[in-house]
A and B are shown apart, each in its own frame.
Chain A
Amino acid sequence: MSTLTSGRRNRWAFLFITVFAVFPFFQAAQLVAQERPYFMTYTHDMEEPGNLEIAFKGVTGKPQLANRFTAAALELEYGVNGWWTSEFYLDGQSTQHDSTIFTGYKIENRFRPPMREHWINPVLYVEFENISADKTLREIMGHDGKDDFIDPNGESRIEKKREIELKLILSSNFKGWNVAENIIAEKNLTNEPWEFGYALAASRPLKFSASAHQCAFCAEKFSAGAEMYGGLGDRYSFGTHLTSQYLGPTVNWTSPGGTTISFSPSFGLNDYSIPRLYRFGVSYEIPQILSAFRKGGAR
């Protein structure tokens, strides 16, 4: 048993080492993306046309009466054009004293109808997901809570979820601050009711103007803010009761090479929530990815 556990640990260690080791090699195609420090909340910032962002986002937590888990998503985000961003996720999770499994995939598209910047900028989000035993907690929906983590992976992965998710993303920039609200509706394609959720966030860079010299740890390389998210029940019992709610600070740092590292502890606000979740992420943006395959390569 201990050999098995150590094998699983090694797999996760291998994944982490691969991700952190591979990202610096993209330095040749340097592009410093100014990312928001959010894990759950989308803003109206679209991916630049032709750019590909590769991100690895993880979460770990210890629900009461259940084993500690670590889940991660590999995200590939591509800017199709100025008003359309497409994203593909591969999800997995590892549960202590249980197993490490691949939990499915998600495909999402975001469309920004207004072509100009307004006080409030709406973006429409459509996602299809095919998952089972997912613990990445990219959104809290319906009556999601700590009890969902009690079943062992062998049982919970039997239930396949094919879901459509819609989001209305509202986002504003004001005097260097960003404030974003996401209203989420999700429908399992089997005969289950619509479920609802939300995410709210606000953040700002620690310094608004850029330095006149290259620096790794200048204040403008850091962004900080707070995120709150949770479920809103389903169409038969709408509201914040019998569902989990989280709130926490969030921070990120963009290295001079363009890699962004993010961290956020989230705290459960009621008895249905996991007491603490620790989120971490690393992302890198490759500019004009398709030009690398054209004659002459990327410039």
Chain B
Amino acid sequence: MKRILRIRPFPLFLLSVAAPSLLWASTLWINKVPAREHERVNPIVDSAEAKAAGQLLYDDHCAKCHGDDAAGRGKRPSLLTDRVQNDATAGDLHWLLVNGSLRKGMPSWSRLPDQQLWQIVSYVKSLKR
């Protein structure tokens, strides 16, 4: 009655590929945004003045890491990617600015008033090509 341990290579292979992928997906900041924040609408989205103010704020606070052209610097990510420009809503970006992604080096910008955060979001979204 000796039981023989049978190793099934295919499920093991599937698990070894799926587990890191799931883990990677779960650590993406965009997957952590609560639904209520995701649906928030930028109250100043169409204002040209807000975009101009947002650009000045971006230059002051964000450009050192994300680059003057928002294309990223070194390991710091570009803000011109599909994830930021298309997948992320204005509410997602606002949530990211408030909370940061502290483990990955993105600081929280909750020290800035909400109006300034929305101005930055307006500017970043206006970079869509």
Stretch of B4-12, B83-91, B101-109 at the chain-chain interface: B101-109
Interface residues of B in 15-71 (CB under 8 A from A): 49-50, 52-54, 56-57, 60-61, 64-65
Residues of A within 8 A of B119 (CB): 209-210
* Beta-carbon contact of A116 and B53 below 8 Å: no
Interface 1/0s, chain B 104-122, versus A by CB < 8 A? 1111101111111001000
| Neighbouring A residues of B116 by C-beta, 8 Å | 208-210, 220
Contacting residue for A210 out of B53, B65, B102, B104, CB 8 A: B53
Q: Evaluate contact between B107 and A46: CB separation under 8 angstroms.
A: yes
A212 touches B49 (CB 8 A): yes
Query: With A81-B102, A209-B119 in contact, is A31–B60 under 8 Å at CB?
Result: yes
B98 within 8 A of A: yes
Question: Complex Cα distance A82/B115, Å?
Answer: 23
Q: B128 an interface residue at 8 Å Cβ cutoff?
A: no
Q: Are B115 and A213 in contact (CB under 8 A)?
A: no
Complex: A288 Cα to B73 Cα, angstroms:
12
- B113 → chain A closest CB, angstroms: 4
CB-CB nearest in chain A for B115: A209
Q: How many A-B contacts are there with CB distance less than 8 Å?
A: 89
- B99 interfacial contact with A, CB 8 Å: yes
Q: Check if A36 sits within 8 Å of B111, measured CB to CB.
A: yes
Known contacts A81-B105, A209-B53; decide if A34 and B111 are in contact (CB<8 Å).
Answer: yes
Contact residue among A32, A82, A213, A214 (Cβ-Cβ distance under 8 Å from B102): A82
Count, chain A residues at interface, CB 8 A: 39
Minimal beta-carbon separation of B46 from chain A (angstroms): 14
Query: A34-B112, A178-B111, A288-B65 known; A212 and B103 CB under 8 Å?
Result: no
On whether the beta carbons of A212 and B60 are closer than 8 Å, the reply is no
In the complex, which of the residues B56, B65, B104, B110 contacts A117, with contact meaning CB atoms closer than 8 Å?
A: B110
Cα–Cα, bound, A34→B54 (Å): 15
CB distance from A296 to the nearest CB of B (A): 10
Taking each of B103, B112, B119, which has the highest tally of chain A beta carbons within 10 Å of its own beta carbon?
Answer: B112
Closest beta carbon of chain B to A84's beta carbon, Å: 9
Do residues B102 and A208 form an inter-chain contact, with CB atoms below 8 A? no
Chain B residues whose C-beta falls within 8 Å of the C-beta of A214 in the assembled complex: 56
A268 located at the interface, meaning its Cβ lies under 8 Å from any Cβ of chain B in the complex: no
* CB <8 Å contact, B105 and A82: yes
Q: Within the complex, which residue of B53, B105, B112 is in contact with A211, where a contact is CB–CB below 8 Å?
A: B53
Question: Does A48 count as interface, using CB distance less than 8 angstroms?
Answer: yes
B114–A176 contact, CB under 8 A? yes
Residues of A that sit less than 8 Å from B by CB = 30-32, 34, 36, 43-46, 48-50, 79, 81-83, 112, 115-117, 173, 175-176, 178, 204-205, 208-214, 220, 258, 287-288, 291, 299
Query: Closest 6 CB pairs between A and B?
Result: A82-B102, A32-B60, A212-B52, A209-B115, A208-B113, A287-B64
Residues of B that sit less than 8 Å from A by CB: 49-50, 52-54, 56-57, 60-61, 64-65, 73-74, 98-108, 110-116, 119
Not counting A117-B99, A209-B116, A210-B56, a sample of 10 additional A-B residue pairs whose C-beta atoms are within 8 angstroms of each other reads A45-B110, A45-B111, A49-B107, A81-B102, A82-B103, A117-B108, A209-B50, A210-B54, A211-B56, A212-B52
